[in-house]
Amino acid sequence: MIATSAVLTGDFIDSAAGGEKKLLMDMTALQGAAAAADAAFGRYRGDGWQMYLRNSDRTLSLIIHILAALRAGKSGLATRIAVGVGTANLPGSDIAEGSGAAFELSGRGLDSMPARQQVAIAGLGVMPLHGAILALCNQIAGGWSQAQARAIREAMPPWSSGQWPTHQEVASRLGITRQATQERLARAGYNAVVTAITAWEADDD
């Protein structure tokens, strides 16, 4: 996939049942994930949100971090994510002012997403394989426990893709042993996710 810009548009599933407090917690988690990836973030339409990532080659890494951040929380809410890849323009820090193909594709992708689908991607250089990788990673993330998600979040920050912290560094951040960290990461499918991200970013080069 050609390295261009990516826009992620999403909304939370059954957010009304969780209440505004839980929704706010998850919006804060998303904002933190965006900040870690140096991506612009904005909330809209109640439970909707959007991110602008200047370089689309980090898209999968950011999505993994988003899913980990949400699963690591206590709200229990899940989000849908539609990615648009292509040209984009964001003149300032307000994502509502963004324009271009990536913004358009992302918004349309979320509006047209089937009810049972949670992730989608479209745009310049996107092939069916990219959508399949996203779907598989989303499926893996759906099985993470809170502890596993926290381990993944610390082990795979979106700003250091390909140069992730060591297991000992992750263990220190979590306040647990290295062995416990390795066990959590193994059960979370860490190696498979690393393989997916590595292949995704190699394809972007």
Phi/psi for 117 (5° steps) reads -90, 140
Helix (H, G, I), strand (E, B) or coil at 17: helix
pLDDT for the residue 162: 64
The answer to whether the CB of 23 falls within 8 A of the CB of 12 is yes
Is the pLDDT at 77 greater than 60, yes or no?
yes
DSSP state for residue 12 in the 8-state scheme: E
How many Cβ atoms sit within 10 Å of the Cβ of residue 115? 6
Q: What is the pLDDT of residues 155-189, one digit of tens each?
A: 988 866 567 899 999 999 999 999 999 999 999 99
Q: What is the pLDDT of residues 41-54, one digit of tens each?
A: 999 878 899 999 99
Task: Give the confidence band of 86 by pLDDT, cuts at 50, 70, 90.
Answer: very high
Is the pLDDT at 104 greater than 80, yes or no?
yes
Domain span holding position 97: 5-204
Selection from 43-52, 68-77, 86-95, 102-111 with the highest mean pLDDT = 102-111
pLDDT for the residue 158: 82
Write the CATH number for 130.
Answer: 3.30.70.1230
pLDDT for the residue 204: 60
Of 21-25, 67-71, 119-123, the one with minimum mean pLDDT is: 21-25
Task: Give the confidence band of 1 by pLDDT, cuts at 50, 70, 90.
Answer: very low
Overall number of domains in the chain? 1
Question: Mean pLDDT of all residues in the chain?
Answer: 90
Task: Give the confidence band of 130 by pLDDT, cuts at 50, 70, 90.
Answer: very high
Extended strands (E) in 13-78: 40-44, 48-53
